[in-house]
Amino acid sequence: MAAHNLGTELDLSWISKVQVNHPAVLRRAQQVQARRTVKKEWQAAWLLKAVTFIDLTTLSGDDTSSNVQRLCYKAKYPIREDLLKALNMHDKDITTAAVCVYPARVCDAVRALKAAGCNIPVASVATGFPAGQTHLKTRLEEIRLAVEDGASEIDVVINRSLVLTGQWEALYDEIRQFRKACGEAHLKTILATGELGSLTNVYKASMIAMMAGSDFIKTSTGKETVNATFPVAIVMLRAIRDFFWKTGNKIGFKPAGGIRSAKDALAWLSLIKEELGDEWLKPELFRIGASTLLSDIERQARLAAVKQGRTAQAAQETKVCISRDTVETGQKGLTSVREAWENGKKHSGMLEGVIINSYESRQPTVCNTLCQNEKSVSQMASHCSCF
């Protein structure tokens, strides 16, 4: 992960006059969701990349050492080996970004990952997750114990009452203490945005958390009624961008809660691309909190393997002619998953494999972080550094 955010002195002038235009945010969210989709031949590569952003999570009351062990195995082998071979991606060492568990299960996760011979980070929730309604001393001790047990990332929850009552200095002080208790572990601050009352509060809480030293800001615990939504994410991402412009520090972003389908994952990657650009599309600055997302991604990977004609079943069904070096499918211009992955590392600018819906051809994009000129798909393909 990237270097720690050391934070800044509390400066309430950064938030004192902020008012979020709620209708404008909703329009922007609708615009982003409607404007861009990923071409089918590129989707598998995108989804495999999405796997590398996942904090694979189990936060259930019935968690045991055995199901944590299974979680860690899935984190190391998130996609079946036969599917990766069929997609010619078996040598890419695709794993999830981290595993996330309760503090009492950190030792189980560390032990399981060590036995598996991998260095996937262990993240632990803390500070009275999910409500954050315990004494401050208890919350700080929970962080310290999780770090002692081997957690290298700590997902803390804030005391929402401090936001709802405008006690920004108290919120800053608490998060500064969380930062100190984490030591060398990275601090991810959960804002529980569904319980903050307004988008203006979301922006202010985001800025305070970053000033206090958070390495990531996270939308939700996954336990709220309303979890990760595009309007909330846009406000948080704009706060991250503003903080970067003011300080030069890049802060990570983690949506969590309700992200279950491959389509959801693609939408979130596109949003990060739109709002912050390529630099944030790496595990050091972007994570997805999810527990069931992998199942759908693996399902889509299987479909991609069949379509690419790399399995015996696909060869029989579509009469694919496979040699050592070539695959003939009768579909000219078909882009392999490996080509999509590799080509994405060679270019910069627009996102590879993106389709601009028809109405955008009549007006320039309003995104500040991407190319301001209208471009064809072929032009965009020559400006990609997504992967």
Residues taking part in catalysis: 155, 218, 254
Give the three-state DSSP class for 68: helix
Give the three-state DSSP class for 4: coil
| Paired tokens of 148 | 């002692």
Name the DSSP letter for residue 279.
Answer: G
Q: Residue 28: which H helix or E strand, with range?
A: helix 22-35
State the greatest distance between any 2 C-alpha atoms of the chain, in Å, as a whole number. Answer: 67
CA pair distance 52, 54, nearest whole angstrom: 6
* Packing angle, helices 262-275 and 293-308, rounded to 10: 90
CA pair distance 280, 286, nearest whole angstrom: 6
Residue at 348: amino acid letter: S
| Paired tokens of 229 | 């939504």
Cα distances from 201 to residues 16, 136, 159, 248, 315, in angstroms, run 11, 22, 13, 23, 55
Name the DSSP letter for residue 253.
Answer: E
CA pair distance 194, 117, nearest whole angstrom: 38
The 3 state secondary structure assigned to 214-259 is: CCEEECCCCCCCCCCCHHHHHHHHHHHHHHHHHHCCCCEEECECCC
